[in-house]
Homo-oligomer: A and B are copies of this chain.
């Protein structure tokens, strides 16, 4: 940590600041410049020291050199985290595909979509039972019933399932039915939810807040990791910018950046990241080329009549199937292994009794 003082600070005040610093058990090295004085702090500072120093009189700025997250950092855990659920591996060289509708609507709908996801080579079925909606009068999801329908469809077709959980009190029931829990972009800093997810072992797909920096994103992951759940995946899903033609701006540089800063798998969401069906295919390919560990893609058999209105960004089943074939080839060029349906079948065979 480095403390930069005001240009007109007195020697006396510098001494007082040094004393405050050293009282906490670390060392302070003072470098007097022609203009400003800089105090370097050596040793393991308490997490709150920077916050404390920043508010002292005479201090212009405090710069943290070490990161504020630890368990999420690659410095701490150099190897890629690979999460395995029922034989499906996520992270490292494995390219995982999560597909399905925005919302679970009926047993028939989710069953048919599950069949198509599996046939195309996907490994995970996505679907929302609880939907976060901007306004109170929009369709809010069908609730626990939807979880049951999706669990059955996943089991029948040999797919893992992922669903969004919005509030701490629903974590347990969601974890009972789904293999992976998703935290939505609006809840990335719902700290009570993150803390609750730290108490279980179910893998969590943490979506980046639509205005969260990489640092805030990794700190949010740190909440879950620090609670004791090591199974966290990061999901880039587009950020909010001045451009409104696309629903969000998919920040693909986040993929290599997060993989450098952290060991956690990084998944890309080209559906929410663009909000337009015709952009999902190029952005899915770009995500894989950038090194993504997986993709989460909306697909619907009847997007014209989806209940959430997100049909506009859902692929048709044939588009989804064709895309997966292309992604397999692209993945091979960047060192990503696309586990095939046959392998899945065997994995699931060993798992389902």
Interface residues of A (CB under 8 A from B): 2, 4, 7, 29, 31-36, 38, 40-44, 47-48, 50-52, 54-57, 63, 65-66, 68-69, 75, 132-139, 166-169, 186-187, 189-193, 195, 210-211, 213-216, 219-220, 222-223, 226-227, 239-246, 249-253, 255-257, 260, 273-274, 278-279, 282-283, 285-291, 303-312, 314, 326, 329-330, 333-334
- Given contacts A69-B135, A136-B223, A215-B245, 15 further A-B pairs with CB under 8 A are A33-B40, A33-B65, A52-B305, A136-B227, A166-B192, A167-B192, A210-B211, A211-B240, A213-B242, A246-B257, A249-B253, A256-B283, A282-B291, A286-B286, A288-B289
If A68-B135, A135-B219, A282-B291 touch, does A246 touch B242 (CB 8 Å cutoff)?
no
Taking CB atoms, residues of chain B closer than 8 Å to A222 are: 135-137
Q: Is B243 a contact partner of A256 (Cβ separation < 8 A)?
A: no
Q: Is A54 a contact partner of B309 (Cβ separation < 8 A)?
A: yes
Count this chain's copies in the assembly.
Answer: 4
Give the contacting residue for A190; candidates B42, B190, B215; CB below 8 A: B190
Give the contacting residue for A31; candidates B29, B56, B168, B190; CB below 8 A: B29
7 pairs of A and B residues whose beta carbons are closest in the complex: A51-B309, A55-B311, A211-B211, A289-B289, A286-B290, A47-B137, A167-B192
Q: Is A251 a contact partner of B249 (Cβ separation < 8 A)?
A: yes
Q: Is A65 a contact partner of B38 (Cβ separation < 8 A)?
A: yes
Task: Write the nearest CB–CB distance from A192 to chain B, whole angstroms.
Answer: 4
Q: Is A243 a contact partner of B213 (Cβ separation < 8 A)?
A: yes
